[in-house]
Amino acid sequence: MVRDPLMARRNWANRLALASTGLCALVTVSVLFFLLGYIAVNGIGALNWAFFTQLPKPVGEPGGGMANAIVGTGKLLFLASLIGVPIGFFGGVYLAEFGRNGKIAFWVRYATDVLNGVPSIVIGIFAYVLVVLPMKSFSTLAGGFALGIMMIPIAVRTTEEFLKLIPASIREAADALGVQRWKTILFVVIPAAFRGLLTGILLDLARVAGETAPLLFTALNNRVWSHGWMEPTASLPVMIYTYAIAPYEDWHRQAWAAALVLMLLVLVVNGGARMVLPRRSVVV
Amino acid sequence: MPRSSSLNWQDRLFRWACLGFALLILGLVAALAVELAWSSRLALRAFGFSFLWTQVWDPVREVFGALPFIYGTLVTSAIALLIAVPFGLGTAIFLAELAPPRISEIIGFLVELLAAIPSVIYGLVGLFVVVPWVRSVASPSVDAVLGWLPVFQGSPYGVGIFTAGLILAVMIVPFVTTVSREVLLTVPRSQREAALALGATHWETIWTTILPYARSGIIGSIFLALARALGETMAVTMVVGNRPEIHPSIFDPGYTMAAVLANEFAEATSNLYLGALIEIGLVLFGITIVVNGVARLLLYRLHDTSAVHV
């Protein structure tokens, strides 16, 4: 059999093709490790105490840090969660508990999908026209608004998914005891799904934490502290962008440091989510 | 199912509140579309449809044509797909068909991590690693072999359409791989066993039976990746060269729709200029909705049966 030349050729083709799929996987994973390694090597050398505690130095002067950008990113994420999480969460509760397969639920899911596919820069335009123009100022508020909208689709999807995982018997048990529906949802179903819900929200936050495009003309940037919510603010991703395309060696160094910090945030949250959830459903 | 407790006013209130939040999402998307169209009305009126196929972009004289950006967006995305689809699909086949479940899980997670890396970090690595590499290695060596073709003529910049396409490719591989893998896993066992029973080798089974069965889902994953590539902003802005020109060579600098928004929006001085930029946003919005819509149609069946949410 093996000497049959046709069979031999087919076997070779088989091995070659299967090996090349393995090679594809190897290349893809290598690219990831190269990226992580490159960022780690360049970032660690640049990371120091000043990075976390000092303001940016005036242009041309070496040293300084990104304290204002770190606080700025924190404020933006806080505001984004205030806007994105309630809308996404209760929208998801509606889909899982009330809407189910109805017409309204269909359109809400459709809108969520559309929103998920809208390029982040277009969300930036939306926030610009809706918040920046009327207020006549770039602000933390506008940036947080843009990021908040970006959080909605994933918040809706994960909420719906994790609530649906809770077996009907649990709801029925509460019903049988005469518990009102809203109490069942808030105090029985949601706590039962809590781990998944929290993880979903954290993943959502990690995703928007690195968003740059919607901040470019909403939160803008700032080389000093931003007070309150109505002033332009620095943020880590926008700082990485600004510093990377600037012609100063020292700024490039700090951009790598900021990239490492962002990268660690993303890795910790994604890795953590993987630990907490036995098999996370694939949310793309 | 009629439930006596749903007559309770507290329950009704809670239900309405949830419905309100859900409808708010619908309202947001509608507002987004209306607002883009309304805010670009000046440009829509001034240039009409010719906006889409005129080449001059001159903010000083207030003449705006979006063709260089549309061209750049389409070509960078096409290059990205040409690179990402073979690698992404190959990886998906490996994960679904060959790798033991445990390994498949781990590699699948690593591939998903690629999608979690922020776009600006891809841009940073692109700017300091890929751009110099294209300038000193890729562009000259391709030029030496295929330089007689205008498309492959070398260029001394390093930034350009090809560089952007290459980085986009890495960014969209996870979409092809993750979704295709799920699709491949839904192919019924009987299909595979039938092919094997007929004496097909493992690869012949994949090629003649499994891939055709999964075709619509795989194409869906490709459209999904395409939609991401079209709208990708930061990484592209940092490496595409940012010149509103159309050159024959893929190594020459270009521009994309998302990149021009990122660069010029905050500095747009006149209303017409701003309108023209917002119109570009409107076009981008329209294109991504269509491409995502096609992806969803193709993945619709899958959506109901497995854990893939796209």
- What are the residue ranges spanned by the domains of chain A? 5-46, 52-276
How many alpha carbons lie under 13 Å from residue A158 in its C-beta half-sphere? Answer: 30
Among the partner-chain residues A25, A179, A245, the one whose CB lies closest to the CB of B95 is A25
Tell whether A9 lies on the interface with B, counting CB pairs under 8 A: no
B207 contacts in chain A (CB < 8 Å): 17
Average the pLDDT over B88-114 and give the result. 94
The DSSP letter of residue A58 is P
Task: Tell me, yes or no, whether B35 lies in a domain.
Answer: no
The 10s digit of each residue's pLDDT in A167-226 is 999 999 998 999 998 999 999 999 999 999 999 999 999 999 999 999 999 999 999 999
Residue B130 lies inside a defined structural domain of this protein = yes
Kindly tell me if the per-residue pLDDT of A280 is higher than 60.
Answer: no
Mutation target among A1, A16, A41, A125 for the B interface, most CBs of B within 10 A: A125
CA gap A206, A208 in Å, rounded: 6
pLDDT at position B234 is 96
Q: Are B244 and B253 in contact (CB under 8 A)?
A: no
pLDDT of residue A51 exceeding 90 = yes
pLDDT value of position B302: 64
**Is any Cβ of chain B less than 8 angstroms from the Cβ of A28?**
yes
CA-based nearest distance A87→chain B, Å: 5
The alpha carbon torsion through B115, B121, B127, B132 (nearest 10 deg) reads -60
What does the block give as tokens for A10? Answer: 């087919």
The dihedral over CA atoms of B270, B274, B279, B280, expressed in degrees to the nearest 10, equals 120
Confidence class for position B294, pLDDT limits 50, 70, 90? very high
Q: Residue B307 pLDDT more than 70?
A: no
- Is the CATH code 3.40.50.300 the one for domain A52-276? no
Residue B167: which CATH number? 1.10.3720.10
Minimal C-alpha gap between A151 and chain B (Å) = 12
Task: Determine the 3-state secondary structure of B244 from DSSP.
Answer: coil
pLDDT on residue B17: 95
For A217, the closest of B25, B117, B265 (CB atoms) is B265
Number of domains observed in the structure of chain B? 1
SS3 B57: strand
Average pLDDT over residues B54-82: 95
Q: Does B261 touch chain A (CB under 8 A)?
A: yes
Q: Does residue A81 have a pLDDT over 60? A: yes
Distances (CA, A) of A95 to A1, A150, B13, B21, B117: 59, 19, 16, 11, 30
The reply to whether A95 touches chain B by the CB within 8 Å rule is: yes
Residue B9 belongs to a domain: no
pLDDT in tens, A220-279: 999 999 999 999 999 999 999 999 999 999 999 999 999 999 999 999 999 888 887 755
Query: Is B91 in CB contact (< 8 Å) with chain A?
Result: yes
- CA atoms B160, B161, B162, B165: torsion sign: positive
| pLDDT > 90 in chain A, percent | 84
A113 at B interface, C-beta within 8 A: yes
Read off the pLDDT of each residue in A77-103 and give the average, rounded to a whole number: 94
Residue B176 within any structural domain of the chain: yes
Of A108, A175, A274, the CB nearest to B25: A108
Structure confidence by residue, pLDDT tens digits, B38-64? 999 999 999 988 999 999 999 999 999
User: Has residue B7 been placed in a domain?
Assistant: no
Query: For position B217, what pLDDT does the model report?
Result: 93
Structure tokens of B49? 């449809």
* Alpha-carbon gap, residue A280 to A272, rounded angstroms: 11
B44: Cβ contacts below 8 Å, ≥ 6 apart? B37, B51, B275, B279
Q: Which domain holds residue B184?
A: 40-305
Q: Please, what sign has the CA dihedral across residues A59, A60, A61, A64? A: positive
Check pLDDT > 50 for residue B204: yes
The nearest CA of chain B is from the CA of A274 a distance in Å of 8
Averaged pLDDT, B76-105? 96
Q: Of chain A residues 251-280, which have a CB less than 8 A from chain B?
A: 252, 255-256, 259, 262-263, 266-267, 270, 274
Whether B13 maps to a domain, the answer reads no
Instruction: Pick the residue from chain A with its C-alpha nearest to B227.
Output: A117
Residue B187 domain-assigned (yes or no): yes
**Helix axes A236-245 and A67-93, enclosed angle (nearest 10):** 130
Measure CB to CB from residue A119 to each of B6, B94, B258 and give the nearest one.
Answer: B258
Q: What pLDDT is stored for residue B305 in this prediction? A: 43
Q: Find the CB nearest A281 among B26, B230, B307.
A: B307
Flag if B238 and A180 touch (Cβ within 8 Å). no
Burial readout A57-73 (b: 16 or more C-beta within 10 A, e: otherwise):
beeeeeebbbbbbbebb
Q: Please give the DSSP secondary-structure letter assigned to residue B64.
A: E
